[in-house]
Amino acid sequence: MKKLLLTLVVAAFGVVAYAQPPAGDAKPGDWYGEKVSTEGAVAINDAVAKLSEGNDKVDGKIKAKITDVCPKKGCWLKLELANGETAMVKMKDYGFFLPVAAIGKTVVIDGEMKMKTTSVAELKHYAEDAKKSKEEIAKITEPKKEVRVEAKGIVIVE
């Protein structure tokens, strides 16, 4: 009986610990995923303009400000765009996560940017991760075309 109880306690602790975003202050110079240099980074709005010109995707480094990080695991983040919208960032192969402390920081991301239509189910999932109210989640009824970035690596700049 004691072994069973101990096993359950250890398993519960593991689940709770696994479901948390990584700890950290997200200080300038901290990097996540592949190590990224800031050389050659372009402003995110310049990269989005290339997508608007008809390019299917834009590869390379972009510089942007983080507006939101998944509070559940740190598995996605949103970047500020000039038009008041946001770009969604997912980590390549779900290979790394960012701490919530990265909100408000400027980063350089090495990865691939493209336009994607996000399904209602996926949008609701992100809203649940972000701990939105049931009313806010219920208002999501249409897919959304948005800028999506698949990040290989991220470095905090400021």
Question: Cα 134 to the chain's mean position, in Å?
Answer: 22
d(CA 95, CA 68): 19
Q: What is the pLDDT along the chain (158 residues), one digit of tens a residue?
A: 566 555 544 554 444 444 555 677 889 999 999 999 999 999 999 999 888 787 788 899 999 999 999 888 888 999 999 888 899 999 999 899 999 999 999 999 999 999 988 899 999 998 888 888 999 999 999 998 889 999 999 999 99
Q: What percent of the chain is helix, strand and coil (3-state, nearest 5)?
A: 30, 35, 35
- What's the pLDDT score for residue 50? 87
- What's the pLDDT score for residue 88? 93
User: Which burial class, exposed, middle or buried, applies to 138 when counting CB atoms under 10 A from its CB (0-12, 13-18, 19+)?
Assistant: exposed
**Amino acid letter, residue 64:** A
d(CA 96, CA 69): 13
Tell me the β-bridge partners of 91: 151
**Amino acid letter, residue 75:** C
Domain boundaries, the chain: 22-156
- What's the pLDDT score for residue 21? 57
d(CA 100, CA 25): 8
In this structure, CATH architecture of domain 22-156:
Beta Barrel (2.40)
> 42: which 2 tokens?
């372009």
